[in-house]
Structure formats: structure tokens, C-alpha cells
Amino acid sequence: MKLTENDIAVLRALANYYVLSASLLHRMVFPQRKDRRNTRRRLQRLVSAHYIARSAVEVAFSTGNAGPAYYLTAKGADALAVYYGDEAWLNTNVRQPRIDRLYHWLDIAECHWIISQAVARATGVTLVGWVNEWQTMSDVDGNPTDYVLHTQFREGPKPLSCSPDAAFCLKVGEHQRVHYVEIDRGTTGCKRVAASKMPGYAELLSTRGHHQHFPTTTFDDFAVVIITTSEKRRDILRSCVSSHEDLHPELWLLASNEDVTPESALFEEVYVDHQGIVGSLMSKPAVEPALEHQKPVAAE
């Protein structure tokens, strides 16, 4: 099978997002096309040629439809490395996703897409990188390392670890800040979420672990963004987070998933901190005004 540019675009999307539904893939790769039948046929061809694989079970979506989830294979990663002439693609995560985690990975992919779209719309903001939980990272020079987001601080009868669902770093001017992502699907009690997650992030802060994840960060701290199922659950989670005064609740920002969109994710007041104060993820960068009397440059 000879791969086309559109085939490569599908493989690249799966390399970047790990697990995607056909609907998400179509929205990300072919947003200008209304008919999704060609996308489904393309996915079937790539599955048959073993460049991608699909989940053994179908997942139901909010639209009432159901379908499999897709992920990249080692053959697909090799095809990307050859196409781009860059062996870094060989480090792409091609693990078969656990069936019981499919919804979780799809939610993470949706969040990743929202942040990417929000940054693309913004002036003066750069997405330095996005990393999923078990994805290996690069050092400050871009060389691959053994570091992943999961950090095991202590073993034994009282283990302590920090396992973010994902992390991203935003750059504005000379400043770069790390944001860790927690996707809360409402399957665990709010008290337990706070009690199980907060100690790990407090230890990550004290050990400056975020500098290993994103060596170019210019901040001594970071933000933990938890996106949950509704405003009511968000508010209960906020109360639980604020009760742990010794575990740096000031790091945490909480939002309902329906409020976080490409239009709102960066600059609109959709996040609540541990004190109940509503705010945005960041302030809009100041844009230098164009020079009024600047002469136009002739096209070459």
C-alpha cells in the first residue's frame, strides 16, 4: 500500500494523540469535509495494512453513536520515521491501550486537541510540548531520555507517586510554565481524588520534578488543571482540594469539561481555584501595535 499525504496525516494524528475515535480523527485531520465516509474507508485500509490498529470493543459517544478507537502500530511509526526522515518517530507510543481505559484516553485526546486549537487561535502563545502519562520525553537539547510523567517517589507500605494524565507547557515571551492535566470522569469519590492525587503533586513541587519534564520552564511552580464532568462536581472537588492546606492547594485549577473549549481554554474565566475564585488559565499577551507610518514591503 502506497501511503498518501492524507494517510500520513492520519498516522501523525495518532502519533500525537495516541488514541482517537473516527469522529475525533475526522474533526482533527479533515475538518473541512462534511462527509465522514471517506475517513472511515481510509481507516479501514490503514488497519488492513497494519499501519494502525483498532480496539477490540466499541465505545459509545455522547452523540449516541458507537465505534472502535484507533491507535498507531510499530509499522505506522516506522512509516512516519521514513516519510519525515526522522528516527524520533520510532519512539512514538504504540502500546495497545487497555480496554477499560479507552474512554479516559479519548478524553485526554480531546483535551489535547482543545489546547492545541486554543494556542493556534492565540497571538503570542506557543505550545512548547504536550506529553501523555507514559510517553518518554526529551532533554533541553531535544535528545530522548528515559523520563516519563509518572514519578515514583517512595515504595513500600506507604508508596508515594505522581501520575498526571498529561502535561503541557505554554510559552509567552521569555516565560514558560508547566501545566499538569487530570481528567476526572466521576468514577471515584471527590474526597478520594483529592487525597490520592495531592500528595504526589506536593512532592513533585518540593523536588522540582517539573523541571525534568520540561527543562525550559522558567517557573518554580506549576499548575494542576483538573477537568471534570459538571460544575457541581467541580465545586465539590474544589472544597476537597482546599481542605488539604498542607498539600499546596494553590496549585490546583478546576473546570467543567463543557466550559473548556478552543475559544475559552486560555483566556476566558472558566477555571476555579481552591478559594473559589474564578479566572482564566493565563492573561492575554500584550501585542505590540503596528507602526502607523511603516512603508509597505514589496512582494518578492
Range in 72-86, 140-154, 188-202 with the lowest mean pLDDT: 140-154
- Please report how many Cα atoms fall inside a 13 Å half-sphere around the Cα of residue 208, on the Cβ side: 7
Give me the CATH code for the 5-97 domain, please: 1.10.10.10
- Write out pLDDT tens, residues 201-259: 999 999 999 999 999 999 999 999 999 999 999 999 999 999 999 999 999 999 999 99
* Spatial CA neighbour of 179 closest among 265, 239, 242: 265
CA distances to 26, 112, 145 from 168, rounded to whole Å, are 24, 9, 17
The domain locations on the chain are 5-97, 106-279
* Spatial CA neighbour of 285 closest among 177, 171, 167: 171
Give me the CATH code for the 106-279 domain, please: 3.40.1350
What confidence tier does 299 reach under pLDDT thresholds 50, 70, 90? Answer: very low
Locus of grid cell 473559589:
276
Q: Can you give the pLDDT at residue 100?
A: 86
Q: Can you give the pLDDT at residue 145?
A: 62
H or E element at residue 75: helix 74-84
Beta strand residue intervals within 117-222, DSSP E: 126-132, 151-154, 160-162, 166-172, 175-183
- Rounded to the nearest 5°, which phi and psi values hold at 27? -65, -35
What confidence tier does 1 reach under pLDDT thresholds 50, 70, 90? Answer: confident
Considering only the C-alpha atoms of the chain, give the largest distance between any 2 of them, rounded to a whole number of Å: 71
Q: Which residue has the higher pLDDT, 10 or 298?
A: 10
What confidence tier does 293 reach under pLDDT thresholds 50, 70, 90? Answer: very low
The CA distance from 94 to 173, in Å, is 35
- Write out pLDDT tens, residues 26-41: 999 998 888 889 999 9
pTM of the model: 0.86
The CA distance from 25 to 103, in Å, is 15
